[in-house]
């Protein structure tokens, strides 16, 4: 046994003796003061070992006639049953040890078992396959720990909060057969410890996120419910309501919301490639729903409404942010039917195709949405335009452009707020009468 090790053990025993002469501590809370020593040991085992060494030290001193009964009495009073038993054997006097200064002698194996069992019940109710334990400790308990830390300079100390999280988490994993997940758990179980070590448990189920695409095959369907100032729905159906009606019941969730890669105008269809979206199932109590089961519910509802949604796979919260941020970068192809009160000549259409080839367009916030968006200017690009004449006053155009470009304003110019515009190039008033999104690039 090395001198360094012997010196370390001697130091730990001496410091523990000093602490226990003044402060009652259970074995777990004593062991936690020296948590960085003895890898692989629990704080409970570490504390018991320290008290065992203290009992040996006291008996040795007693045998040599060097012991102080007063000191032995205080150690027995503050050190728990092990040191009280030693005192009883030496002096024949029974002592009832004091409760632990930090936890009131309530942080026991049975306490951990009880809390973990209740946590397991909650996790089963949420159909969870992964979890994370969170602990909130009353500030009075934290103050007691801080008192000891400062008074005795305990650099090796571990907080009771950290030990609670670890020990409860280990027991929950063992009892429930679930996997702890520190980055994306199905459910966070929060254990709140009061100053008298009573506790309460709450749960915070994380949403289920699912990637997919949607197609809007009809017009006058909003992205989310559009409620007027008078409190009425402006349009009878929204994509979000469609998804919610299909999925809320099978996930038994509180709510369902969608996060899409941009959004088309309410009077525009989303056809062709469909639009990427992330579905967020909030506070589900049934999480193990298969993707095919969810798709089946969506297909059933598509028989009643002109909306199609196809789900691909479960994903993470970060994908929601990615899809929304990427919307501005995804190029799109639009089909627009355009009317002019004046006759449209073939050379007008050729001029449009030639002019809008990799053309930069500056747009101020459209007048139609100035009431809900700030007046800003942005620059987008039109990469190509292809046109087919339908009649003397109507033509159709495919427009390949940046995401976020206001296509209606590109057609009529919005009183000069979009420059250049189709109307400006041909020198004639133009009105977009029908709009479809046919491609959203991946």
| Residues carrying an active site annotation | 265
Query: Which 8-state DSSP code applies to residue 286?
Result: -
Measure the CA–CA gap between 311 and 249, rounded to whole angstroms.
Answer: 17
Phi-psi region of 411 (alpha: psi -120 to 50; beta: other; left: phi over 0): alpha
* Three-class DSSP category at 98: coil
Contact 129, 206 (CB under 8 A): no
Burial degree of 30 (CB within 10 A; 0-12, 13-18, 19+): buried
Give 305's DSSP letter: S
Taking CA atoms, 269 is separated from 76, 239, 308, in Å, by 81, 12, 12
- DSSP state string for 170-204: HHHHHHH--EE-SSS-SEEEEEEEPTTS-EEEEEE
Helix (H, G, I), strand (E, B) or coil at 335: strand
Whole-number Å distance between alpha carbons of 305 and 428: 38
In degrees and rounded to multiples of 5, residue 278 shows phi and psi of -120, 130
């Amino acid at each position: 046994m090395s001198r360094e090790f012997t010196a370390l053990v001697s130091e730990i025993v001496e410091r523990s003796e000093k602490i226990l002469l003044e402060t009652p501590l259970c074995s777990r809370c004593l062991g936690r003061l020296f948590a960085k020593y003895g890898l692989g040991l629990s704080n409970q085992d570490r504390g018991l070992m320290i008290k065992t060494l203290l009992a040996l030290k006291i008996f040795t001193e007693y045998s040599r006639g060097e012991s102080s009964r007063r000191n032995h009495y205080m150690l027995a009073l503050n050190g728990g049953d092990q040191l009280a038993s030693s005192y009883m054997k030496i002096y024949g006097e029974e002592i009832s040890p004091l409760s632990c200064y930090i936890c009131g002698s309530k942080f026991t194996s049975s306490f951990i078992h009880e809390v973990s069992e209740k946590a397991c019940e909650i996790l089963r109710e949420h159909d969870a396959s992964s979890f994370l334990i969170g602990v909130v400790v009353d500030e009075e308990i934290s103050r007691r720990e801080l008192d000891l830390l400062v008074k005795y300079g305990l650099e090796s100390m571990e907080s009771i909060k950290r030990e609670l999280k670890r020990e409860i988490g280990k027991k929950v994993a063992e009892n429930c057969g679930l996997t702890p997940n520190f980055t994306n758990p199905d459910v966070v179980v929060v254990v709140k410890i009061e100053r008298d070590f009573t506790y309460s448990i709450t749960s915070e189920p994380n949403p289920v996120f699912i990637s997919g695409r949607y197609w809007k095959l009809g017009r006058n369907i909003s992205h989310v419910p559009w409620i007027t100032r008078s409190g009425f729905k402006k349009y009878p159906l929204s994509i979000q309501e469609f998804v919610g009606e299909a999925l809320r019941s099978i996930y038994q969730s509180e709510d369902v919301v969608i996060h899409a890669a941009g959004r088309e105008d309410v009077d525009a269809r989303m056809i062709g490639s469909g639009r990427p979206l992330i579905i967020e199932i909030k506070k589900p109590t049934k999480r193990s729903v298969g993707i095919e089961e969810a798709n089946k519910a969506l297909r059933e509802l598509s028989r009643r409404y002109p909306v199609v949604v196809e789900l691909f796979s479960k994903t993470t919260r970060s994908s929601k942010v990615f899809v929304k941020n990427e919307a501005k970068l995804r190029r799109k192809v639009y089909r627009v039917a355009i009317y002019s009160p004046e006759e449209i000549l073939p050379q007008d259409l050729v001029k449009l195709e030639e002019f809008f080839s990799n053309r930069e367009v500056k747009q101020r916030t459209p007048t139609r949405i100035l009431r809900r968006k700030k007046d800003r200017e942005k620059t987008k690009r039109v990469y190509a335009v292809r046109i087919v004449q339908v009649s003397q006053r109507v033509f159709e155009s495919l427009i390949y452009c940046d995401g976020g470009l206001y296509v209606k304003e590109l057609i009529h110019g919005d009183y000069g707020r979009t420059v250049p515009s189709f109307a400006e190039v041909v020198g004639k008033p133009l009105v977009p009468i029908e709009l479809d999104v046919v491609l959203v690039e991946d």
